[in-house]
Structure 1
Amino acid sequence: MSSESEEIVMTPTKRGKATHIKIERKPKKAVSQGPDSVVHVAGGEHTGLVITKGTEAEEDFGKPELQIGFMCFLLDQKTNKHFVESRKLQFWYREGTDYYHQVTTAYEFFKELVRPENFPRDYIGFIKKCMKQMQGEKYALAKKVDLEIQQLEEGEAPVDPANRIPVEQFDMEGILRNGLPKEDTRPTEQIVREKLLTVLESAYPNVLAVEDLVRITASDEGIVTQQLQDLYQHELVRQMEHGGFVRQVLDTQTEVQVVKQMPTIAANQQPTIAIITALYCEKLAIDAMMENKKTYVKYKTEGESNVYTIGYIGEHKVISTKLPAIGHFRAAQIAAGNTTTRLLGGFQNIEHVFVMGVAGGVSHLTDYFKHLRRGDVLISRCNEKGYIYYYCEKILQDKEENIHYVLKNWAPRDLVLQRIAEKIEDYQKANPDYAPWERYIEEGQELLKEQEAKFSRPPAASDRLYMNIGENQVIEVQHPDVPSGMIHRDDVPRLRYGVVGSGRPVVKHDDTKLDFATKYGISAFDSEFDQVLESIVGNRKDSFMFVRGICDYQDGSRGKEWQPYAALAAAAVVKTIIKSLHNPQLDEQY
């Protein structure tokens, strides 16, 4: 139906504490047949907009197909008091509209509605803008939009939004903030110290020279030297030969040996499970899950060093390693592949490989069961094509401006780990209290409490979800509502199952990320592990799985506050899966 044969009809209603502004498309004939309910018919530039009064016999559109909720932090001009409003935009679509076009239509409608340059300053302007947008062809797929407005009581209102900046510093009714990074006002020494730890943790177990640390941190050499000495005195770094520095692990539970060559391990004592991590906090987390463990640092003065921790999880002998990398660039990913090859080549009895760590969740603003939040854990699951991982190398555009992704994908040939995960899911559905990973998290937190990184779960209020609306502006939106009758706990991880994706060409732009995730069913994005996967498959390891703790909504690289806890949650889930795995070596011994 063309927009010329339709009118945009707005009907306000009140339900309890909430005001609903229903805006829907209706044939002109249908509107003209109900003159008693028509309050105003606009003319001139607003021709086609109609206001009606609510009736008791409202048409039931059923559950909205998509919803975007956000908070408005407002100032009452008369009383000079701040108050908070919850606003929700609920969308219904024309029949046959697929999920991707539902999401993009809603996102674009929302982004245009809150554009900083013409954001409506009052209710009438806000509602009028909603109606005018519905009138445009750009949103023709939307059949109905319902705007729900409710002022929150003082106890219901959230804390100040966006990094806890005082409300007075917000413009655009307080719901927008500039996307540019805030100026770091901490002392220079503190900033340099943090940078040094971050770089050394990323490079671990590699050794970095002082001149490299000066260059990478872009800091004064004197301050770098001073802070390195402070870190050394606190036993956070170790000084190696030739004056280089390496991150020192504070772990009194584990014997550490620095070796030039790995000692020979008898065939029946070889580990059968490998766990690959990329971040320092991830390595600490999985090592906290082991018993009777020993760490070997295979140290090299030039080239890449390696770190292996060998121990037991349940009845299985496992080995964990950390990929040495400095920065998020291609050379680091290739080095990660080389490290994986050395691991799998040096320990040839390995049957199962876990790639464990953090990732960024894909937002599903209307589906509680698909939406991944910080602290949740995603276990890789094969899609209908059998793939668990997609990597985008680059994006191409044809003459018709259609987007094409140049990608690689991977699928395990042996599905034993996937079947265990399915059994865990089924058992938890039948027994909701089943969650051994929660106990493993608590035990890990006790073991790691002396670490520099904090592995406790950050407060629920810090799990903020933002949408980029362009021009370096972001807006905070609400997580999807918890289904009625369902109890949601925000102090424990939820297990989710799906496909993992990666690739800088897709994650750096919201639109391409959404399109890529929709096309290939991606549940979470992480850093690029294509070279690691190439090595796993190239070494003929048929059983492999990704387990990712959600720490942000990008690719896992930005959620610094949530990274340690998310890594620990993922490690606890890996431990659960491993302890559910049968050990055939025990059959040979007894």
Structure 2
Amino acid sequence: MIKGRMILVCDPNELWNTNIESSFDFVCLYLDKKVVLTAGKRDGKAVVRLDRRHVSEIDRSKLHHVTNGPYKGLVINKKSHCLENGDPAEARLEFLAFLVNKEHNNEPVQDFWTLRFWFRGKPDGITKKRTFSQYFQDLMSPDDFPKNYMCFMKKAMVLMKTYLLIKRVELEVEQVTKVQSPEATPPIKSFVSLFTPDIYQYNFVPEISMTTKTFLTFMIKAKCDAHIALSATYGELHKKTIEIVIGAENNSKSMIKDGVEGSVRADALTANVLSGNELRYFWISWGSNKIEVGRGAHYGEGKFLEWYLPENKRFGISSLAVATDNSSHGQFEFAELMEVETDYSKKAKKSRMKRQIMWLAKKQRILHCMEDVYPNTLSVQDLLQQQAGGNVDAGTLVMMMKELEKSQHVREVEVGRWLRVQHEIHYGSGHEMKLVKDLPQLTGREQPTIAIVTSLYCEKLAVDAMIDDKTTFVKYKTEVRRSFVGESQVYTVGTIGRFKVVSTKLSRHPTSNQSARISAENTITRILGSFNKVEHVLLVGVASGVPNWGNCSKHVRPGDVVVSMTTERLDPMYVHCAKIDNESRDKSYIYSTRSFTCRNKTLQNVAMSLESIVKTEWRKPRPWDLFIEEGLVALDKQETSFKRPNNDKILRIMKNDDGTEVLYEHPISLNKPDLRLEVPNICFGAIGSGRLITRTQSVRGNFAAYHNVKAFDLDFEAVLESLDGNRNESFLVIRGISDYKDGSTRDWQPYSALTAAAYMKALIMAL
């Protein structure tokens, strides 16, 4: 395939004159699903139709052959003299093919090919476009390019078996009388159709990239009232939108409006400009600070509308949406030039591989951003502002989101707003996820008595893996606000042992500390208000550890678990530093802190009892080790690996002054038999927080020694304040260690979250 040309060494009449029986063996029909080939003529053109049909839908009177062996599941019908048109195609491709007639001295022949596609179900436009584009690429791949027509049709059938989304493909061929030179061959064109009902409701067209265009050519079939909206933001038509109406007022008038249903800025009489029986060409231009609309396939000709944009109405167009009015349903067809790979050199393959890696990396950044704000949603504009896609335009970003939705990583809960999905297939049977507007009413016995609060997405997954008989409720608010913080809530209700528990996740605002604080406070208030039987609260997740390179018994390793307790029971469990003053005389630090502890010591007593039992029976497997293994099985289908990393032999720690890194080896003691090196150990101490004290190692070390701090978390002071304000008297902070810096090392976060969750389960089981 080169610039839309296809070369087949064969007689063009071979397709219709070949005895198909010589190519396929006849066997009995016994499979439920078949790809059925029917060849025939329509409007003087040769047509081959490939249908995906159930065995009961096949007309046996038309049956010619059924294949077996490597081609099992392919059916060939008898030749049809007249193929009916059927439903309009949902997508099509057009290109010129060069052939060589081997029976006439290899003289060149040129055919005009049209490939039409129909799809199963109701896939979105981007999914359709990617599916038929990839099908065409595979069909025309030079690695195994067919040598003649019969091989070409056979390959088309075999490929259709693997493209399950495609319901029907039609290949239409028309011989061109005047052969063009290869240099004059037009590029391959792809067409995507969108069908609109007789309801004035806009459908966005994300598969058409608008950010790189200044005009668009398309076709419309409708009796009247075809609406086209050009917008600056995908999913948003209330601001920065220009509406074009073609064939308004019973197909007699067309106009340009300032916004959807806004003021008319330009109009023209256009009697019978639309047709309900045929597709007609139109074009729209938005370059040079003016909107132009015309009829015909050639941009710039047949103009009938024009509006010079005032300065306050000039904005970039990044989104397209279409609709028809209550008086007519419609069909819109959009054409784009298809990019076909022509360079198969090693250099080109490396370049394509690099692009694919970058594409995957950008999608991963988007997922991380979605996970931070979960259970709240993000719009395209939100993602662009946070640069989650990394130098991508709105159209490309929408395409990425559609791909993530297809792979069930996100869900588009409103047009242009996506939610990260905790899908039940990741947990196996027994786990449901429900999107609700209001939480169901729980009876007394169904009410949880233990609440578990997490901050990171991997923490929520790890905690939920410890819960049995669980159901996840996402309470999503449909109104779109400027700030999404605190709008939605997620609760997973289930059991651990004999206790009913509920887990939730804080939404982390990526740019505003104040918004994150408000969100955390609201989350605690809501969970304690919604589940008023909650007695104990566990804050479970990851943190950065405080190392002690000279004392093995006091050293904290990545993967270890720190529990917010001190040897002196009245000492604070959690210490937040809000301000640091430097005493100039002795170069010491003065900290302004707030300490938190709880009156009810039930959780602390159970933790001490559990520790005593483990020390006494140190040769036996510890309960949390077993729960880690169970969690790894439950989380095996996650795209993030929760397995223990193997890079903990030597760990990096930042120096105090210039931020450079030095390497330290973990201390080892042969005199401490209960210390285990390849599995998590449990450490007791206060948890510290505060962004100021995590900046340098000297301040961290000084603060940790003074307050007996074993770990620094991601700043849960707002959560502790909210617990205090809601008069909760029993809480415990459980932190898995992921690094020695700020807890953000992603390769250790999942495993450390799992170790913390496993200890949490052991603690609850021992209550």
TM-score (norm 2): 0.50
Residue 284 of structure 1 aligns with an amino acid whose one-letter code is L
Higher helix fraction (1 or 2): 1
**Distance of 1:485 and 1:340 partners within structure 2:** 40
Residue 186 of structure 1 and its aligned partner are, at CA, apart by 8.7
Is residue 357–residue 548 contact of structure 1 (8 Å, CA) maintained in 2? yes
Give distance in 1, aligned partners of 2:672 and 2:444. 54
Aligned residue runs from structure 1 range 57-456, under 5 A: 187-216=357-386, 217=388, 218-221=390-393, 222-252=395-425, 253=429, 254-301=431-478, 302=480, 303=484, 304-327=487-510, 329-382=513-566, 384=568, 385-398=570-583, 400=585, 402-432=588-618, 433-456=620-643
Shift of 1:351: 0.4
Pairing partner for 2:644 from 423, 437, 457: 457
The whole-number CA distance in structure 2 between the counterparts of 1:445 and 1:278 is 20
The one-letter code of the counterpart of 1:232 is: E
Partners of 1:411 and 1:463 in 2: CA distance: 35
Stretches of structure 2 lacking an aligned partner (at least 5 in a row): 1-353
1:220-279: CA deviation from partner (whole Å, max 9, x where unpaired): 124322321221121111111132011111323311111111111112321000000000
C-alpha RMSD over aligned residues: 2.0
Q: Give, in angstroms, the shift of residue 346 of structure 1.
A: 1.3
Once the two structures are TM-superposed, the CA of residue 528 in structure 1 deviates from its matched residue by 0.6
Q: Is the 8 A contact 1:524 1:555 kept in 2?
A: no
Check whether the contact 2:450–2:502 (CA below 8 A) recurs between aligned residues.
Answer: yes
Please state whether the residue corresponding to 2:687 is helix, strand or coil: strand
Question: In the TM superposition, what is the alpha-carbon distance from 1:434 to its structure 2 partner?
Answer: 4.4
Deviation at residue 403 of structure 1 after TM alignment: 2.1
User: 2:378 touches 2:418 (CA, 8 Å); kept in 1?
Assistant: yes
Cα deviation, 1:126-171, whole Å, max 9, x if unaligned, reads xxxxxxxxxxxxxxxxxxxxxxxxxxxxxxxxxxxxxxxxxxxxxx
**TM-score, normalised relative to structure 1:** 0.65
Say if 1:192 and 1:224, in contact at 8 Å, map to a contact too. no
Q: 2:719 maps to what in 1?
A: 532
Q: Which residue of 2 aligns with 1:137?
A: none
Aligned-pair CA distance for 1:463: 5.5
Q: CA deviation at 1:455?
A: 0.8
Whole-angstrom CA distance in 1 between matches of 2:459 and 2:356: 27
Aligned equivalents of 1:335, 1:461: Cα separation in 2: 35
Contact map agreement 2:545 2:711 (CA 8 A) in 1: yes
CA separation of 1:346 and 1:485: change in aligned 2, threshold 3 A: closer
Distance 1:344 1:488 in 2: 38
Contact 1:192 1:219 survives alignment (8 Å)? no
Shift of 1:393: 0.8
Q: Distance in 1 between matches of 2:699 and 2:404?
A: 42
Name the structure 2 match of 1:80: none
1:391-440 Cα offsets, whole Å, 9 max, x none, are: 11111235646421111110010001001110111111110024011111
Distance 1:272 1:463, change over 3 A: farther
**Post-superposition shift, 1:511?**
1.2
State the SS of the aligned residue for 1:364.
coil
Structure exhibiting the larger radius of gyration computed from Cα positions: 2
Q: What residue number does 1:476 align with?
A: 663
CA 1:487 to 1:415, structure 2 compared with 1: closer, same or farther past 3 Å?
A: closer
Higher relative contact order (CA 8 A, sep 6+): 1
Q: Indicate conservation of the 8 Å contact 1:427/1:434, yes or no.
A: no
Q: CA 1:561/1:463 → structure 2, altered by over 3 Å: closer, same or farther?
A: farther
DSSP 3-state at the match of 2:448: coil
Percent identical across equivalent pairs?
38
> Aligned partner of 1:531: which letter?
A
Q: Contact 1:366–1:481 (CA<8 Å) still a contact in 2?
A: no
Question: Secondary structure of 1:235's partner?
Answer: coil
Moved more, 294-303 or 441-450: 294-303
Give the Cα separation in 1 of the matches to 2:632 and 2:584: 55
Letter in 2 for 1:198: H
Name which of 575, 585, 588 aligns with 2:761: 575
* CA offset digits 1:86-115 (Å, max 9, x no partner): xxxxxxxxxxxxxxxxxxxxxxxxxxxxxx
1:116 maps to what in 2?
A: none
- Give the Å deviation of 1:490: 3.2
Count of residue correspondences: 397
Q: Secondary structure at the match of 2:378?
A: coil
Q: Do the aligned partners of 2:556 and 2:683 also contact (CA within 8 Å) in 1? A: yes
